[in-house]
Amino acid sequence: MKIKLNLGAISEPLQSEKLKTGDWGTHYPVVDKEKCNGCKTCEQYCPDLCIEVKEVGEEKYAVVDYNYCKGCGICASVCPFEAIKMELKDIFKV
């Protein structure tokens, strides 16, 4: 599918709200719900407020906001249970 490209990179106001910066990164975090116990360490360390522990029914685990996550990997690095893994995005796979 062809993408739409504005002539001269011309943009209307307030487009930044629609700008999903999540595609900036090369990697993205994947949470293993089994290993995650909802300790919120990742939540506190995320520099972009992009990971949040949510209660879903009986379970409690970290949920990533991929719209804005830039894939820095801090959450994976600080997780005490090794419940978060950084995966390379498909478009960067050679």
Partner 1 sequence: MKKVVRGFYSVAYSVKLCRPNVICAYPITPQTEIVENLAAMYANGELGEAEYITAESEFGAASMLVGASAAGARVFTATCSQGLILMSEVLFNAAGMRLPIVLVNTNRALSAPLSIWNDHQDSMAMRDAGIMQVYVENNQEAHDMIPQAYKVAENKKVLLPFMVCMDGYKLTHAYEPVDLLEQEMVDSFLPPYEPAAYMTTKKPLAFGCYAPPHIYMEFRVAMQQAMERAKDVMLDVFKEWAEVSGRDWGGHITVDFPDSKIFVVAMGSVVGLLRKVVEELRNEGLSVGLIKIRTFRPFPVEELREALKDAEKVIVLDRSVSFGYEGPVSIELKSAIYGYSSAEIYSFAVGLGGRDMPKDFLAKIIRDVAEGKERPGFAFKGYQEFEEVIP
Q: Is 12 in the site for partner 1 (CB under 8 A)?
A: yes
Q: Does 9 bind partner 1 (CB under 8 A)?
A: yes
Query: What is the distance between the alpha carbons of residues 38 and 84, in angstroms, rounded to a whole number?
Result: 12
* Residue 67 binding partner 1, by CB under 8 A: no
Choose one: 6-14, 44-52, 53-61, 80-88; the region binding partner 1 (CB under 8 A): 6-14
By DSSP bridging, strand 51-56 and strand 84-88 are unpaired
Q: Is 62 helix (H, G, I), strand (E, B) or coil?
A: strand
Tokens 């949920």 -> residue: 63
User: Closest CB to partner 1 among 34 and 48?
Assistant: 48
For the bound state, the minimum distance from the C-beta of residue 23 to partner 1, rounded and expressed in Å, comes to 5
Beta bridge partners of 63: 52
Residue 17 touches partner 1, criterion: CB under 8 A: no
DSSP state, residue 66:
T
User: Given the rule CB under 8 A, which residues bind partner 1?
Assistant: 3, 5-13, 15, 21, 23-24
